[in-house]
Amino acid sequence: MATAFSTAKFSTQPFPLNPTSTTSHDSSIVFARPTSQFLGSTRKFRLTSSSKFNLSRRSKTVVAVSDVVKQKKSKSSPSLLITKEEGLDLYEDMVLGRAFEDMCAQMYYRGKMFGFVHLYNGQEAVSTGFIKLLKQQDSVVSTYRDHVHALSKGVPARAVMSELFGKTTGCCRGQGGSMHMFSREHNLLGGFAFIGEGIPVATGAAFTSKYKREVLKEADCDHVTLAFFGDGTCNNGQFFECLNMAALWKLPIVFVVENNLWAIGMSHLRATSDPHIYKKGPAFGMPGIHVDGMDVLKVREVAKEAIGRARRGEGPTLVECETYRFRGHSLADPDELRDPAEKARYAARDPITALKKYLIENSLASEAELKTIEKKIDEVVEDAVEFADESPVPSRSQLLENVFADPKGFGIGPDGRYRCEDPKFTEGTAHV
Amino acid sequence: MAAIFQGVGAAAPLSSSPSNSFDSNKSVFSPRRSFSVRKRASFAVVRSDGIVNLNPKGRSAQRLISNAVATKADSPAASSSSKPGHELLLFEALQEGLEEEMERDPRVCVMGEDVGHYGGSYKVTKGLAKRFGDLRVLDTPIAENSFTGMGIGAAMTGLRPVIEGMNMGFLLLAFNQISNNCGMLHYTSGGQFTIPVVIRGPGGVGRQLGAEHSQRLESYFQSIPGIQMVACSTPYNAKGLMKAAIRSENPVILFEHVLLYNLKERLPDEDYICNLEEAEMVRPGEHVTILTYSRMRYHVMQAAKTLVNKGYDPEVIDIRSLKPFDLHTIGNSVKKTHRVLIVEECMRTGGIGASLTAAITENFNDYLDAPIMCLSSQDVPTPYAGTLEEVTVVQPAQIVTAVEQICQ
């Protein structure tokens, strides 16, 4: 295995995909709200996608955008991207995500949860940036790295923690686990263990939204679906098939790529012929946007545009968020392949620290207020653990309850009665 | 092709017992409608006593009612013009069932390759796109896994899609979605989301279609928890099962057969469904229970003709529900005849017959006088050459020999 070779090769290069964003990050995060120039730039993307992978060309278009916004900034009076309320809301959501995941790691090592647990540390800006813009009726589809998507969508921390502990009070009654978070109430459609298999489900949810509007004549139905998935998924057939269908039928969906550069131990650059994922959008007839996924405000701006497009019926968007996971792929991953220098570089771009800095520098919040939020979140997470600890484990009778929505599906037994009428059945001791 | 089958059906002699309660179909939707059973008693193919009433207590009540009315004998002499109901080919029956459900519930939609403008590869969805529009009868690109997943996502969010695999074999590409999401999602979500999809398509060994177009996927899907599988074999049960599958809250896979689409039968005018979990009694008998489904039903009935001439009295049951098995109908039959022959088109290894053999042995071993015999297709990829293809599937002569062997 040429591991030494591969790590050496890619760590010496500066992260090649977005040189300008590195520079724009060095300066303040603040830039004025981008206009529809943003979408105008997708036409440029379309053109460049047909040409060869050309770093300088691509960076030119990105520069073009930030040039425009820098200009705007100097013209107008300092306008901020968020209000204080919004800022605190975003901060709280990201801190919740981080604190929750850290607690998960602790609980895992204490033997309270088992199996494959994939933590989201470092990627909070993507979840918060997108999901906080949604309404309750909008849907979110995620992957196995779904705890924070669930929390951002509104699933109570207690329900998620209980689910992780495998208790009946979990959001899926303990039957799903870490990789299968579902919530009907909050329209979280999963939680999928196989990468790529959630994207068609998201496409279906978007299809329903369009169907409701056009066939069932619910004229005000403008529900949007967000599909979150990673860089590894972008080489999977289901990704491309769904890009095609979504663009074909102009479905109200946003495909959000959380490109954290690594699919377990497989570097994105080693797995992908053209690593610029956003370029694949225009190939299917939708805009492809690349955004700094470590910056919640940038993500939020892009998200507003993309979600707005979908709501207006203009069709899907592909958004590639450059982000990073601070921990390994899962709690079982020794994480030996990633270069410590790369990790350090991204740790310096911690989205929570960045937002904190922004809020304080722009006098949107004081240290004390943020500390209060952090303390509150600590309590929420502690409470979630306590709740989960005290919740009951599923009893035997729960085993067969949700196999079928209509339990007649278990069939007719030798005595002529439906099996589900057998009292032993509900006890879970009946032989199916 | 159709004529042969029809002829076989018509010639199958009814058992001479006076309590000829099985010749009229009781598959009516509600007890109030049981009177309508009488009208359709005239077609000569022996029909099942598959009772549709979903209330199990009501089921036995239904049987009693139908016993009373079934004394009205089948009269082949009755002219067709005075017969109520309407004649349909099997694919038309499927279409009618689908259309009725789409009228009844605006959330029912169809998706698949060439289901819209083309009308379906076997014309099951013909005319539906014109009537209901391109979004309700959706022509998808060739992406089985993704459009099946899309159907599942749509089902989770409130629609009731009918997903067509142009050929059942193509659904192998959708196995990921069918197994993980269709079957399991209701469970892993703790019961929060239901997946009321119907996945249907033509399968089975046809006329020299080659190995890949002649697959029987029921054996691959049967282990998936959370799904139901049914196989239709007559226009009557095709329409009934289609409607029941669409109305069911569970994901149902409906297996159709490429060679059965042109069967003709007279169907009742009124609304009816066939119970998804029940088997169909095709021909009551005393000597041996023959369990079959889909196309093999007709090979069995053809063999039954020969067997009757030889003095045997086989009981033929079309199991219809491949998952779960109707152990009640099957069990009662086993308890009566004590001999079982399974005739299926599935492969020998790991097929429906294998599972059925296990289920019968587990539940009714004490009632068996002879080991269960299972006739299945050979474990070979279906060859193109006609002569070879013929011997991969079970032929009536083999069925006759098997019965003779069992009844020794």
Residue A245: its chain B contacts at CB < 8 A?
140-141, 143, 146-147, 150
Question: Hunting for tokens 């009693």 — which residue is that?
Answer: B64
**With an 8 Å Cβ cutoff, are A180 and B192 in contact?**
no
**With an 8 Å Cβ cutoff, are A183 and B109 in contact?**
no
* Min Cα separation A93/chain B (Å): 24
Which element (helix H / strand E) includes B403?
Answer: helix B396-406
C-alpha to C-alpha distance for A237 and A245, rounded to whole angstroms: 12
The pLDDT mean for chain B works out to 84
Percent helix, percent strand, percent coil in chain B, to nearest 5: 40, 15, 40
The tens digit of pLDDT for each residue in A198-245 reads 999 999 999 999 999 999 998 889 999 999 999 999 999 999 999 999
- Active site (catalytic) residues of B: 144, 213
Residue A123 CA: distances (Å) to CA of A32, A99, A279, A296: 23, 13, 22, 10
Q: Which of A192, A95, A102 is nearest to A140 (CA)?
A: A192
Torsion of CA A402, A408, A410, A416, to 10 degrees: 150
> What 3-state DSSP class applies to A44?
helix
B151 upstream amide cis, omega within 30 of 0 = no
Q: Please check whether residue A205 is in contact with residue B219, taking contact to mean a CB–CB distance below 8 angstroms.
A: no
Q: Please indicate if any CB of chain A lies within 8 Å of the CB of B263.
A: no
Q: What is the pTM of this model?
A: 0.82
As a whole number, mean pLDDT of residues B173-202 equals 95
Residue A180: its chain B contacts at CB < 8 A?
188-189
For helices A157-165 and A84-109, angle between their N-to-C axes, nearest 10 degrees? 20
| Minimum mean pLDDT range among A49-53, A270-274, A395-399, B205-209 | A49-53
pLDDT-above-70 percentage for chain A? 81
> Is the confidence at residue A275, as pLDDT, over 50?
yes
Residues in chain A: 432
The tens digit of pLDDT for each residue in B88-132 reads 999 999 999 999 999 999 999 999 999 999 999 999 999 999 999
> Is the confidence at residue B58, as pLDDT, over 80?
no
> Is the confidence at residue B20, as pLDDT, over 80?
no
> What 3-state DSSP class applies to A127?
helix
Residues in chain B: 408
| Interfacial B residues in 5-34 facing A (CB < 8 Å) | none
Which element (helix H / strand E) includes B322?
Answer: strand B321-323
B141 upstream amide cis, omega within 30 of 0 = no
pLDDT of residue A392: 97
- Triad B310, B313, B316: Cα angle to 5°: 125
Q: Which residues, 6 or more positions from B275, have their beta carbon under 8 angstroms from its beta carbon?
A: B27, B50, B51, B52, B54, B244
This complex has an ipTM of 0.82
Residue of A140, A162, A185, A197 to mutate when probing chain B, most B C-beta within 10 A: A197
Of B147, B225, B277, the CB nearest to A412: B277
C-alpha to C-alpha distance for A192 and B152, rounded to whole angstroms: 13
Residue of A212, A397, A412, A431 to mutate when probing chain B, most B C-beta within 10 A: A412
> Is the confidence at residue A44, as pLDDT, over 50?
no
**With an 8 Å Cβ cutoff, are B145 and A200 in contact?**
yes
Written as six digits, the tokens of A219 are 């004229």
C-alpha to C-alpha distance for A45 and A319, rounded to whole angstroms: 13
**With an 8 Å Cβ cutoff, are B153 and A173 in contact?**
no
> Is the confidence at residue A5, as pLDDT, over 80?
no
> What 3-state DSSP class applies to A292?
strand
**With an 8 Å Cβ cutoff, are B143 and A199 in contact?**
no
Torsion of CA A207, A213, A217, A218, to 10 degrees: 110
Q: Please indicate if any CB of chain A lies within 8 Å of the CB of B54.
A: yes
Amino acid at B3: A
pLDDT of residue A423: 80
Residue A261 CA: distances (Å) to CA of A234, A275, A290: 11, 10, 14
Per DSSP, chain A holds a count of helices (H) and strands (E) of 17, 7
pLDDT of residue B390: 95
Q: Which of B165, B141, B163 is nearest to B152 (CA)?
A: B163
For helices B327-337 and B352-364, angle between their N-to-C axes, nearest 10 degrees? 60
Backbone angles phi, psi at B252, to 5 degrees: -125, 135
For residues A74 and A427, the model is more confident at: A427
> What 3-state DSSP class applies to B378?
coil
Q: Please indicate if any CB of chain A lies within 8 Å of the CB of B238.
A: no
DSSP structure string for A240-257:
HHHHHHHHHHT-SEEEEE
Q: What is the 3-state secondary structure (H, E, C) of A338-401?
A: CCHHHHHHHHCCCHHHHHHHHHHHCCCCCHHHHHHHHHHHHHHHHHHHHHHHHCCCCCHHHCCC
**With an 8 Å Cβ cutoff, are B135 and A214 in contact?**
yes
Q: Which of B217, B90, B239 is nearest to B144 (CA)?
A: B217
Q: Please check whether residue B217 is in contact with residue B168, taking contact to mean a CB–CB distance below 8 angstroms.
A: yes
**With an 8 Å Cβ cutoff, are A409 and B324 in contact?**
yes
The tens digit of pLDDT for each residue in B138-167 reads 999 999 999 999 999 999 999 999 999 999
Residue B329: its chain A contacts at CB < 8 A?
412
C-alpha to C-alpha distance for A30 and A354, rounded to whole angstroms: 11
Q: Please check whether residue B359 is in contact with residue B326, taking contact to mean a CB–CB distance below 8 angstroms.
A: no
C-alpha to C-alpha distance for B332 and A166, rounded to whole angstroms: 42
Q: Using DSSP bridges, classify how beta strands A253-259 and A288-292 pair: parallel, antiparallel or unpaired.
A: unpaired
How would residue B83 be classed by pLDDT, with cut points 50, 70 and 90? confident
